[in-house]
Amino acid sequence: MGIKKISKDGFSGLIEGLIAETTVIGVQSKGDKFVYDLLGSSANLRLDYDVTILPPKKYFLQPAEILLRFDGEKYEAEFDDEEFVLVGVHPYDMIAINQIDKLYSEDNFDSHYMRRRENATVIACDVARASENVFASSMGTATVSEGFDILLTDIGDFYVAESATDKGEKLLGKAEGVSTAEDEDLKAREKIQEENKKNLNKHKLGCKPSELPGLLEKAYNHPIWEELGKKCFSCGSCNQVCPTCYCFNVQDEVNWDLKSGTRKRVWDGCLLDGFTKVAGGHEFRKSRADRIKHRIYRKGKYVPEKIGGEIACVGCGRCVGACLTDIANPVKIYNRLIEDIGIGK
Ligand code: SF4
Ligand code: SF4
């Protein structure tokens, strides 16, 4: 595909045109925070945001959705086939979506999730402003090279616009104000990306991400899990805001006729009490310490083992800000383990 540049007016015109013909979701301000929401005007789009409260994952794996309906005789799967454009996805969130794409397209293919991914056109953008707790530079997720249809980088009066798919190419083809990206434009983009690789780092991880699985291999009986367990409220906020958490619960809702109803899935979280409760009442991770340990092991060891080594924490920092007791920061946990156990010892 290709790299071009588009004037800011041209891009606003493109967004207005899309709003007129399809569903457009974009980052908007909400008080002093930012959220993804249905976009009514290009003027409300905020590509200069720092971080959104919830990640864009919610448009692919919805917080609650109907999977199928049944009537006592038969059941029928229900799909959401609406096409939509998602604007403003930061690189770390794009990488999180790429990870869930892998997880939901291998082993047990998740047709509900994958259908929404196919129906989406994703316009990503490089980070223009670091959030309070971001540590994407430490995790190698400050820039992204795949998964999006278009990647924008704000270089002043223009965006450098990289199209990575036919969908992206077609979309840019419709826009006004598109021209060749000159050397100086490409250099300006490179400078922004190189700076983001260094500066999106409010919490500095004391090792390479690739060393985390080995570190955790030696940390299973470390006292930190009990220490954190004593402070944890089991509120599950760290799960709910995380772009890489992908667990859900399935519930049947049966109507009064006791025959028909719906099967739904809703987000679930491994920090919540009851997450591992099974028939007979046994709960595999009853203690809070075990649940916190599990979250960190999922991010730093178990999921990486499933997706080719990529760490399942993209350093968005959302859990750091969401945790009322200030214990969810993965970097603080990893750095304490590094201090106590050491890398490679
Ligand atoms: S663990 Fe925390 S910092 Fe890492 S991806 Fe999840 S919410 Fe973001
Ligand atoms: S946000 Fe903090 S208190 Fe709540 S479950 Fe997560 S670690 Fe525990």
Residue 225 lies in a domain: yes
**Residue located nearest, by CA, to atom 7 of ligand 2:** 328
Q: Indicate the burial class of 74 (C-beta count within 10 angstroms; 0-12, 13-18, 19 or more).
A: exposed
State whether 22 and 159 are in the same domain.
yes
State whether 191 and 215 are in the same domain.
no
Using the mean position of ligand 2's atoms as its centre, give its distance from the Cα of residue 288 in Å. 10
State whether 265 and 325 are in the same domain.
yes
Q: What is this structure's pTM?
A: 0.97
pLDDT in tens, 189-224: 999 999 999 999 999 999 999 999 999 999 999 999
Closest ligand 2 atom, CA of 234? 5
Residue 302 lies in a domain: yes
State whether 218 and 149 are in the same domain.
no
State whether 70 and 186 are in the same domain.
yes
126 φ/ψ angles, rounded to the nearest 5 degrees: -65, 150
State whether 218 and 187 are in the same domain.
no
Using the mean position of ligand 1's atoms as its centre, give its distance from the Cα of residue 215 in Å. 18
Q: How much of the chain, in percent, has pLDDT values that exceed 70? A: 99
State whether 52 and 184 are in the same domain.
yes
92 φ/ψ angles, rounded to the nearest 5 degrees: -65, -35
- 68 bridge partner residues: 77, 263
Closest ligand 1 atom, CA of 135? 3
Closest ligand 2 atom, CA of 328? 7
Residue 274 lies in a domain: yes
Q: pLDDT band at 1, cuts 50/70/90?
A: confident
- Alpha-carbon distance of 340 to 332, in angstroms, equals 12
pLDDT in tens, 74-128: 999 999 889 999 999 999 999 999 999 999 998 889 999 999 999 999 999 999 9
The last residue of one of the domains, among 161, 179, 199, is: 199
Q: How crowded is residue 5: how many other Cβ atoms within 10 Å of its Cβ?
A: 23
Q: Print the domain residue range for 317.
A: 209-341
Residue 204 lies in a domain: no
pLDDT in tens, 63-86: 999 999 999 899 999 998 899 999
State whether 263 and 182 are in the same domain.
no
**Residue located nearest, by CA, to atom 2 of ligand 1:** 319
Reading across the β-sheet that carries 178-180, which strands appear in turn? 33-38, 23-30, 84-89, 120-125, 150-154, 158-163, 2-7, 178-180
State whether 125 and 179 are in the same domain.
yes
35 φ/ψ angles, rounded to the nearest 5 degrees: -140, 155
Q: 344 pLDDT exceeds 80? A: no
Q: pLDDT band at 345, cuts 50/70/90?
A: low
- Alpha-carbon distance of 231 to 300, in angstroms, equals 21
State whether 194 and 62 are in the same domain.
yes
Closest ligand 2 atom, CA of 319? 1
Residue 252 lies in a domain: yes
State whether 153 and 194 are in the same domain.
yes
The last residue of one of the domains, among 136, 168, 199, is: 199
Mean pLDDT of 6-27: 98
pLDDT in tens, 157-186: 999 999 999 999 999 999 999 999 999 999
The last residue of one of the domains, among 199, 222, 254, is: 199
Q: 187 pLDDT exceeds 70? A: yes
pLDDT in tens, 130-156: 999 999 999 999 999 999 999 999 999
**Residue located nearest, by CA, to atom 1 of ligand 2:** 323
Of 234, 245, 267, 326, best ligand 2 pocket probe by most atoms within 8 Å of the beta carbon: 234
Total count of domains within the chain: 2
Q: 277 pLDDT exceeds 90? A: no
State whether 250 and 310 are in the same domain.
yes
Q: pLDDT band at 279, cuts 50/70/90?
A: confident
